[in-house]
Amino acid sequence: MAYIVPELTDYSAQSLLKAFADAKLAFRDEMRAITSEQEWKAFRDRWMARKNGLVTQINDQLKAAPKEAKRELGQHLNGLKQFIEKETNDWHEFVEGGTRDLSVHFQSVDITLPGIRRPIGAEHPVIKTLNEIVSIFRKLGYSVREGPVIETDYYNFEALNFPPDHPARDTQDTLFIAGQESKPLRERLLLRTHTSPVQIRTMENIKPPIRIVIPGKVHRNDPPDASHSPMFHQIEGLAVDTNITFGDLKGTLDHMAKELFGSGVKTQFRPSFFPFTEPSAEMYVSCFICGGSGMRGAEPCRPCKQTGWIEILGCGMVDPNVFEFVKDNGYDPKKVSGFAFGMGVDRMAILKYGVDDIQLFFNGDVRFLQQFG
Ligand code: PHE
């Protein structure tokens, strides 16, 4: 028989105890009979509906009670509410709740009952973009190398042809690890500002020819805003062999841009400066959002700042001074040449997915990340 809230006349402690025990038992019996989400919803409404739900009805009784009984009634009611709220909060929690014997609710052998859908994780958009870029290079015969995020001054700067006190170091907004003053400069630790140190680490260990890509985290002392984060990701590339030319660099990076953004994009190389490459360039791709026109209908195109071109990476021919540091492992600058490049993965992901704030990648909001599932 369905439970009905009794009219209380006796407010003694004993009678209150019995009345609430009856309510709990009735609730539990109804709960045990549930076999579907629909039934659970009806059950939830029957007990919890603001207007005339059973809990509301019990609450109304409280109003009619004599003053002396109010405190005790209130306590009982809170206990009951907690008990009920737990079971009527969420269908999935209800089904998965470990506190009750599920076989009472659902015949566990009935394999025709629909399963419970569990959300499956998704690859993070930055990692997805990173993997995509790496796989473009793997198909070209590149292999993957990694290196430490906490790096020494030697690998992050010196061996990349940034001499001590050279102003080019200022461009890197470095986060240094404190308390290292007693060590020689080249041994001092810092958070690597780019993935380029792994160029040197690899050349120290592997003889030419090499073709590698280096994905990883890097840090710079940039305050977080919509387009900056003190931690971000890069992919570095390095190819060294006899007779590698700037033409090889252009062909390789043009291929990557077309694979990543579509075969219709054009690339452009503009002169730039990096201490470890000479000559150096920045590569631009024609804006794949506005098609290079700089306008989206009547609106100015924001990603390319109306220029029709987007800068996506730095690159150049490996500077002979860099080879000097690994000369003994077969990298004689008179015999080998190479190209290197480095790109920001987060920026690529922003462009690819039309995200307007880099912080969304790192603050872990499931509502954002779910969209990439
Ligand atoms: N390391 C450079 C940067 O972080 C990018 C780069 C890599 C440039 C390799 C040239 C060659 O800005």
The alpha carbon of residue 219 and the mean position of all alpha carbons in its chain are separated, in whole angstroms, by 16
For residue 232 and ligand 1, the question of a CB distance below 6 A is answered with no
Q: How many angstroms does the Cα of residue 274 sit away from the middle of ligand 1?
A: 7
In the numeric block, the tokens 């993957």 are attached to 144
For residue 338 and ligand 1, the question of a CB distance below 6 A is answered with no
Q: Pick the atom of ligand 1 nearest to 237's CA.
A: 9
Helix (H, G, I), strand (E, B) or coil at 85: helix
For residue 342 and ligand 1, the question of a CB distance below 6 A is answered with yes
Structure tokens at 165: 């006190």
Query: What is the pLDDT at residue 245?
Result: 98
Q: Pick the atom of ligand 1 nearest to 339's CA.
A: 11
Nearest CA to ligand 1 atom 12: 314
For residue 314 and ligand 1, the question of a CB distance below 6 A is answered with yes
Q: How many angstroms does the Cα of residue 194 sit away from the middle of ligand 1?
A: 7
Q: Pick the atom of ligand 1 nearest to 193's CA.
A: 4
1 contact partners, CB below 8 Å, separation of at least 6: none
For residue 233 and ligand 1, the question of a CB distance below 6 A is answered with no
As a whole number of Å, the end-to-end CA separation of the chain is 47
Q: How many angstroms does the Cα of residue 198 sit away from the middle of ligand 1?
A: 12
Distance between CA atoms of 213 and 276, rounded to whole angstroms? 17
Query: Which of 174, 213, 228, 274 has most ligand 1 atoms within 8 Å of its beta carbon, as the pocket-test mutant?
Result: 274
Query: Residue 240's closest CA among 283, 206, 192?
Result: 206
Q: Give the bridge partners for 338, in sequence order.
A: 240
Q: How many angstroms does the Cα of residue 346 sit away from the middle of ligand 1?
A: 15
237 contact partners, CB below 8 Å, separation of at least 6: 137, 142, 212, 213, 214, 252, 339, 340, 341, 342
For residue 341 and ligand 1, the question of a CB distance below 6 A is answered with yes
Could you please report the per-residue DSSP string of 310-368?
EEEEEEEEEPHHHHHTTGGGT--TTT-EEEEEEEEHHHHHHHHHT-S-GGGGTS--HHH
Q: How many angstroms does the Cα of residue 353 sit away from the middle of ligand 1?
A: 24
Q: Pick the atom of ligand 1 nearest to 218's CA.
A: 4
Q: Pick the atom of ligand 1 nearest to 195's CA.
A: 1
Query: What is the pLDDT at residue 133?
Result: 98
Distance between CA atoms of 313 and 9, rounded to whole angstroms? 81
Element (H, E) at 7: none
Distance between CA atoms of 344 and 133, rounded to whole angstroms? 11
Q: Which pLDDT tens digits describe the chain residue by residue (373 residues)?
A: 688 888 888 888 888 888 888 888 888 888 878 888 888 889 899 998 988 899 898 888 888 888 888 888 888 888 888 888 888 888 877 777 644 544 444 465 667 777 777 778 889 999 999 999 999 999 999 999 999 999 999 999 999 999 999 999 988 999 999 999 999 999 999 999 999 999 999 999 999 999 999 999 999 999 999 989 999 999 999 999 999 999 999 999 999 999 999 999 999 999 999 999 999 999 999 998 888 899 998 999 988 999 999 999 999 999 999 999 999 999 999 999 999 999 999 999 999 899 989 999 999 898 898 888 8
Q: Pick the atom of ligand 1 nearest to 344's CA.
A: 4
Nearest CA to ligand 1 atom 4: 194
Burial category of 9 from C-beta neighbours within 10 Å (exposed 0-12, middle 13-18, buried 19 and up)? exposed
For residue 265 and ligand 1, the question of a CB distance below 6 A is answered with no
Q: Pick the atom of ligand 1 nearest to 194's CA.
A: 4
Query: Residue 148's closest CA among 189, 93, 208?
Result: 189
For residue 105 and ligand 1, the question of a CB distance below 6 A is answered with no
295-296 and 143-144 as β-strands: parallel, antiparallel, unpaired?
A: unpaired
For residue 162 and ligand 1, the question of a CB distance below 6 A is answered with no
Backbone phi, psi, residue 289, to 5°: -90, -45
Q: How many angstroms does the Cα of residue 341 sit away from the middle of ligand 1?
A: 6
Nearest CA to ligand 1 atom 5: 342
* Percent of residues in the chain assigned helix, strand, coil, to nearest 5: 45, 20, 40
